[in-house]
C-alpha cells in the first residue's frame, strides 16, 4: 500500500483552491439515475470514492467519464437495478443508489455497504423511510431487495438527522405521487446541494438546510449540468494544518458559512481568521490555546469529520482540552497513533482528554480511516523529524492527492508507492 513520508516543522504558507465536496458529489451522481440523458457535473474531485461510484454506474449500464474535474454520466442505457455486491462493500455511499433506482425501476437490490470502520452506521432509517413511501423490503443474509409498484408521498419523521437517509428519501420521493414531508431532517450543506441539483432537473423540493423538507413529486426529471459545492471538510483540514504548523494560508473557492463551527473553535484557540466572499485567510504565529470543550454533533454543530484533525491542534496547545464524540463510537483510533508521536491524550468511552505538549515527534503511524489519516498527516507536518503515514489509500477516499495539496503550501511531503515484487508481477 502507498505511504506518505513527511519532513515536518515547516510552517505552511501560500494560497490553495479547495476542490469540490465528495459528500455532495456522490449523492448527486446517484441522483443522475432519476433522469434519462447526459448529465454533466463540474467541480468533482478525483477521488477513490468518486471512481468507485462511477464504476458502479457503469456496471448498471451507464456510460461515464471523469476528466478535468468534470464527470459526465449518460444514463440512457441504464439496464439493471441490481447493484454489484463487490463494489457496494467498497464504499458506504453506494447506499445512495437505493432511492433513485427504486424510483426509476420500481425495484432495487443492494447489499449492506462498506466504508471506513469508524463505528456502527445502520441503514434502518433509510429502509423505514422507503417503507412509508410504499416500498416492500425483503432482507436475506445481507442482501436487501426493495419493490414498489408505486411510490406515494408520505409524512416521514426521522428519529435522528441522518444525512444518508434524508438524501435517499428525497431522491425516492422526487418522482413519487403526491407530497412527502421529512421532519427531523439533516441540515448539512450537502443536502442543500442535492436539493438544488434535483430542482435543476425539474423536481419541486424546498426546505433543505432546515429540519423540515417538502418534496412535491413530479412525473419526469431531465438531465442537466451542475457545479458541486466546495468541500468544507477539506477546507477545514487545511485551516487546521495551517494553524498546527504556525503558518499563514489563504483558501479560495470556499464557503465560510459552512465552516462556522470550526471558525469559532479556531478563534477560541487563538487562530487569526479573516473571511472575504469565498476567500478565507488563516494564520497562527504562536502556540495555540487550549479549548475547554468541543462536542461533535450533526450540522450546524462541530462536525465529526473534523474531530480527529482539530485534536492534533489541541495536542500542541497550551493547556487542557476535552473533545466529546457523539456521532461515531470508533472515531478515536488515531489517538494511539498520535501517542507514538508524543501526544498526551487519554480516552474514556466517547471523550478524549488532551494535555497539550510543546512539540510532536516524527514516527511511523497507520491511517486507520479517512479522517484519522488526515489528522496524522497534519501531525506529521507539525512534528519535528520524519513521519511515515502508512495505509494512505484511506486518505485518498476524501482528498484529491493530499500530498500535492500540501506541497503547494510548501510542505515537505511525498508519496511512496511500493515496487511490485516477483510474486506480485506473476499474479
164: left (phi over 0), alpha (psi -120 to 50) or beta: alpha
CA 62 vs. chain centroid, Å, equals 24
Q: Judging by DSSP bridges, how do beta strands 386-390 and 364-366 pair with one another?
A: parallel
Which residue, among 47, 38, 44, has the nearest Cα to 24 in the 3D structure?
44
Which residue, among 226, 228, 175, 182, has the nearest Cα to 207 in the 3D structure?
182
* Whether residue 116 lies in the annotated active site: yes
Asked whether the CA dihedral 214, 216, 220, 225 is positive or negative, the reply is negative
Helix extents (H) in 44-152: 48-59, 85-88, 98-105, 124-132
Cβ–Cβ under 8 Å, residues 296 and 270: no
Residues in the chain: 427
Distance CA 260, CA 20 (A): 18
Which residue, among 286, 288, 329, has the nearest Cα to 310 in the 3D structure?
288
Cβ–Cβ under 8 Å, residues 19 and 229: no
User: Radius of gyration over alpha carbons of the chain, in Å?
Assistant: 22
Q: Judging by DSSP bridges, how do beta strands 294-295 and 320-324 pair with one another?
A: parallel
Distance CA 320, CA 37 (A): 56
- The C-alpha cell 503547494 sits at 408
What lies within 8 Å, CB to CB, of 77 at 6+ separation is 61, 62, 63
Residues marked active site are found at 116
Amino acid at each position: 500500500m502507498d505511504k506518505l513520508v513527511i519532513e515536518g516543522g515547516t510552517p505552511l504558507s501560500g494560497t490553495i483552491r479547495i476542490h469540490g465536496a465528495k459528500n455532495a458529489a456522490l449523492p448527486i451522481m446517484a441522483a443522475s439515475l432519476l433522469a434519462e440523458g447526459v448529465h454533466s457535473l463540474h467541480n468533482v474531485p478525483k477521488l477513490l470514492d468518486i471512481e468507485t461510484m462511477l464504476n458502479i454506474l457503469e456496471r448498471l449500464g451507464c456510460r461515464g467519464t471523469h476528466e478535468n474535474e468534470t464527470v459526465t454520466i449518460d444514463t440512457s442505457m441504464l439496464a439493471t437495478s441490481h447493484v454489484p455486491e463487490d463494489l457496494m462493500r467498497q464504499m458506504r455511499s453506494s447506499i445512495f443508489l437505493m432511492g433513485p433506482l427504486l424510483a426509476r425501476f420500481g425495484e432495487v437490490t443492494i447489499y449492506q455497504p462498506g466504508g471506513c470502520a469508524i463505528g456502527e452506521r445502520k441503514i434502518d432509517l433509510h429502509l423505514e423511510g422507503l417503507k412509508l413511501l410504499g416500498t416492500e423490503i425483503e432482507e436475506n443474509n445481507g442482501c436487501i431487495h426493495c419493490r414498489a409498484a408505486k411510490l406515494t408521498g408520505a409524512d416521514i419523521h426521522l428519529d435522528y438527522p441522518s444525512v444518508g437517509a434524508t438524501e435517499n428519501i428525497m431522491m425516492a420521493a422526487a418522482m413519487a405521487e403526491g407530497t412527502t414531508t421529512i421532519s427531523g431532517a439533516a441540515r448539512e450543506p450537502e443536502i442543500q446541494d442535492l436539493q438544488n441539483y434535483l430542482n435543476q432537473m425539474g423536481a419541486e423540493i424546498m426546505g433543505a438546510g432546515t429540519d423540515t423538507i417538502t418534496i412535491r413529486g413530479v412525473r419526469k426529471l431531465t438531465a442537466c449540468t451542475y457545479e458541486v459545492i466546495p468541500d468544507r471538510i477539506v477546507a477545514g483540514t487545511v485551516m487546521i494544518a495551517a494553524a498546527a504548523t504556525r503558518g499563514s494560508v489563504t483558501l479560495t473557492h470556499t464557503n465560510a458559512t459552512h465552516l462556522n463551527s470550526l471558525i469559532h473553535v479556531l478563534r477560541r484557540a487563538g487562530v487569526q481568521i479573516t473571511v472575504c466572499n469565498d476567500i478565507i485567510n488563516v494564520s497562527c504565529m504562536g502556540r495555540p490555546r487550549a479549548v475547554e470543550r468541543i462536542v461533535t454533533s450533526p450540522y450546524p454543530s462541530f462536525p465529526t469529520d473534523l474531530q480527529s484533525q482539530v485534536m492534533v491542534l489541541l495536542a500542541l496547545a497550551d493547556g487542557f482540552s476535552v473533545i466529546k464524540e457523539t456521532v461515531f463510537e470508533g472515531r478515536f483510533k488515531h489517538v494511539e497513533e498520535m501517542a507514538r508521536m508524543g501526544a498526551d491524550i487519554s480516552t474514556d468511552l466517547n471523550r478524549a482528554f488532551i494535555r497539550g505538549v510543546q512539540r510532536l515527534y516524527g514516527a511511523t503511524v497507520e491511517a486507520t480511516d479517512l479522517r484519522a489519516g488526515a489528522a496524522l498527516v497534519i501531525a506529521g507536518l507539525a512534528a519535528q523529524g520524519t513521519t511515515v503515514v502508512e495505509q494512505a489509500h484511506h486518505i485518498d477516499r476524501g482528498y484529491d492527492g493530499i500530498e500535492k495539496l500540501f506541497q503547494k503550501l510548501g510542505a515537505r511531503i511525498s508519496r511512496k508507492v511500493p515496487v511490485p515484487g516477483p510474486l506480485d508481477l506473476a499474479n
